[in-house]
Amino acid sequence: MNFRLSSLILLLHIQGSLTVDNFPVNCNEQNICAVEVEHVMLLCSYSNINIKTGFWFSQKQSQNWREKDEPEDLTLDSDYSGRVNQRITNYHSRLTIRDVRERDSGEYQLMFIMKDGVKHISSVTVHLTVTGLQVKMNLIDGQVQLICESSCNLTYKASYYWHKNGQYINNINEESRYMFVLPSGSTDSYSCFVTGKNNPSAYLPCGRGRKCDITLFNQMHSG
């Protein structure tokens, strides 16, 4: 009888420590779109709770977890080594990812571990999309319209910059991702750049290994 009771108590203790249910949180943004090399901040708040510890995790990293169904702290993941910082309090949690990469795209959640060992997952998932840049063009009334495009709408106000044949063009509205080019009869190469909200020093075209320039040839101008 004592053995069976002890077994039951042990079983309940193990199950209790592994209990995972949703905990209500509010996040500033649930969908974030950022350009590669930008710094991204995920911020969620909640009612005052007594947390023993907590951490951010991403389900897409489950192949790196020691136990497939046991989420692990993102700051311990080698894919994010040196690029993430988190702050967990009884009122809010913040995750900063620096120098974001396309492979960082995915869903991010919070894991709370209470003093009694019970685990809670945040009720809200933050979806991050990391995009490169691409220059596309339209022909409008004899002019060429260049468009600096991303695969998603950036969730922050970015500044756009253009280069012509490798030289910075300084008379372009920095708030616009569009540029009009008059036919010149020459072959010119244009590329777009963007600086971000949290990482203004990131002044890189396209992202890693991605071609983001476009060449306008003589025959197109002469048409």
Q: Residue 106's pLDDT is what?
A: 97
**Closest-CA residue to 52 (of 114, 110, 94):** 114
Name the band, by pLDDT with cuts 50, 70 and 90, for residue 212. low
Helix (H, G, I), strand (E, B) or coil at 40: strand
Lowest-confidence segment of 117-121, 123-127, 178-182 by average pLDDT: 178-182
Q: Residue 61's pLDDT is what?
A: 94
**Closest-CA residue to 200 (of 168, 174, 170):** 174
The CA distance from 192 to 204, in Å, is: 9
More confident site: 158 or 201? 158
Q: Residue 12's pLDDT is what?
A: 35
Lowest-confidence segment of 111-120, 121-130, 191-200 by average pLDDT: 191-200
Mean of pLDDT over the chain: 78
Name the band, by pLDDT with cuts 50, 70 and 90, for residue 75. very high
Q: No. of H helices and E strands in the chain? A: 2, 17
Q: Residue 46's pLDDT is what?
A: 92
Characterize 31-49 residue by residue with b for buried, 16 or more Cβ atoms within 10 angstroms of its Cβ, and e for exposed.
ebbbbbbbbbbbebebeee
**Residue 147 near residue 177, CB atoms below 8 Å:** yes
- Give the torsion sign (CA, 75, 201, 36, 93): positive
- Give the torsion sign (CA, 55, 60, 62, 64): negative
Amino acid letter, 195: T
Q: Residue 196's pLDDT is what?
A: 64
Detail the DSSP E strand segments found in 132-182: 134-140, 143-149, 159-164, 167-169, 178-181
| Cα separation of the two ends of the chain | 94
What is the DSSP pairing of strand 126-131 with strand 51-57?
Answer: unpaired
Name the band, by pLDDT with cuts 50, 70 and 90, for residue 157. confident
Residue 120 has pLDDT above 80, yes or no: yes
Query: Which residue segments constitute the domains of the chain, with CATH numbers given?
Result: 19-130 (2.60.40.10), 132-222 (2.60.40.10)
In the chain, alpha helices (H): 2-18, 218-222
Amino acid letter, 87: R
The CA distance from 25 to 56, in Å, is: 13
More confident site: 187 or 26? 26
More confident site: 99 or 214? 99
Share of the chain above pLDDT 70, in %: 74
The stretch 41-55 carries a mean pLDDT of 89
Among 67-76, 86-95, 155-164, 196-205, top mean pLDDT goes to 86-95
